[in-house]
Amino acid sequence: LTQLYAPLNFLGFIYREIKNSLSDMERMFGILDQNQEIEDVPQATPLDTRSAEIRFEHVGFAYEPDRQILHDVSFTIGAGETVAVVGTSGAGKSTLSRLLFRFYDVTEGRITINGHDIRQYTQLSLRQHIGIVPQDTVLFNASIYYNIAYGRPDASHEEVLEAARAASIHDFVMSLPEGYDTQVGERGLKLSGGEKQRVAIARTVLKNPPILVLDEATSALDTRTERAIQDELYKITKDRTTLIIAHRLSTIVDADRVLVMDQGRVVEHGSHTALLQANGVYARMWAMQFAATEEGTDV
């Protein structure tokens, strides 16, 4: 009986892990409690690449049948490139990342990775290729070690510490009396916004995905922390195909291209310099945001 019990127990563990990871992602995207039935097609193949080109081709999407959210959205993120999405609140920026992660399927057009519709790939392999650093990281009620290692549960102890160092959180963790065993989450030590983001960065470094989705925090971190986190984020975007929902001027300027969205449409698309020269919506946004930042306010 014991021989039978151990594997069953292990299966239970795996099941809980998968369930936890899914609900964590769903919470990150703020779409918990929503009924979605995304299933693999019968002949789905695993995505297996270190170099991913992403294309949105005439994508249309509606959460509810009578309210179209995205209209004819087309853009490409070349392998290793960074595209920053900017736009008004409710423009559909986060919806792009939810569709890429396949929490929902597009209702028109298609999204491809390396030329193939993402609906042709197994969901598991697709999601393994995408790392997400959300605005507000959800921590498990567990140790800091677990919260980082969760990025890749089979990582070695040294790799977990290495990821923490890369995210500049190792020294902070070591300064705590219980170090990596410190319990965090709702019932444990409350981490600050910046510390939570660093845990998310460490998780992502450990996962080492070829595709990144970064949702920059709008809430104000102090300037030094913000600058440091920017630098860490910038480092991890190197050589990865990255979609950033951007709120910071520095991120936008450093991106290869900027996508300007308004009410579910791409209204402008180009490099920061080209968009400024075009003297359109982006140039006006930039002038306003720049003035606001000069006064010390957030974008």
Q: Using CB under 6 A as the criterion, which residues of the chain lie in contact with ligand ATP when the complex forms?
A: 31, 34, 63-64, 69, 87, 89-95
Q: How far is the CB of 85 from ligand ATP (least distance, A)?
A: 8
Closer of 169 and 214 to ligand ATP (Cβ)? 214
Closer of 20 and 34 to ligand ATP (Cβ)? 34
Q: How far is the CB of 155 from ligand ATP (least distance, A)?
A: 31
Q: How far is the CB of 9 from ligand ATP (least distance, A)?
A: 36
Of how many residues is the chain composed?
A: 299
Q: How far is the CB of 98 from ligand ATP (least distance, A)?
A: 7
Question: From the CB of residue 71, how many other CB atoms can be counted at a distance below 10 Å?
Answer: 16
Contacts of 170 (CB under 8 A, 6+ apart): 161, 164
Closer of 12 and 90 to ligand ATP (Cβ)? 90
Question: From the CB of residue 200, how many other CB atoms can be counted at a distance below 10 Å?
Answer: 28
Q: How far is CA 92 from CA 61, 98, 263, 274, in A?
A: 10, 10, 7, 23
Please say whether the beta carbons of 226 and 251 come within 8 A: no
Give DSSP secondary structure letters for 116-174: EEGGGB-HHHHHHTEEEE-SSPPPPSSBHHHHHHTTSTT--HHHHHHHHHHTT-HHHHH
C-alpha span between 169 and 147 (Å, rounded): 12
Closer of 30 and 46 to ligand ATP (Cβ)? 30
Closer of 87 and 210 to ligand ATP (Cβ)? 87
Contacts of 101 (CB under 8 A, 6+ apart): 25, 29, 126, 127, 130, 132, 213
Q: How far is the CB of 187 from ligand ATP (least distance, A)?
A: 29
Closer of 165 and 265 to ligand ATP (Cβ)? 265
Q: How far is the CB of 69 from ligand ATP (least distance, A)?
A: 4
Q: How far is the CB of 90 from ligand ATP (least distance, A)?
A: 4
Question: From the CB of residue 178, how many other CB atoms can be counted at a distance below 10 Å?
Answer: 12
Closer of 86 and 206 to ligand ATP (Cβ)? 86
Question: From the CB of residue 179, how many other CB atoms can be counted at a distance below 10 Å?
Answer: 13
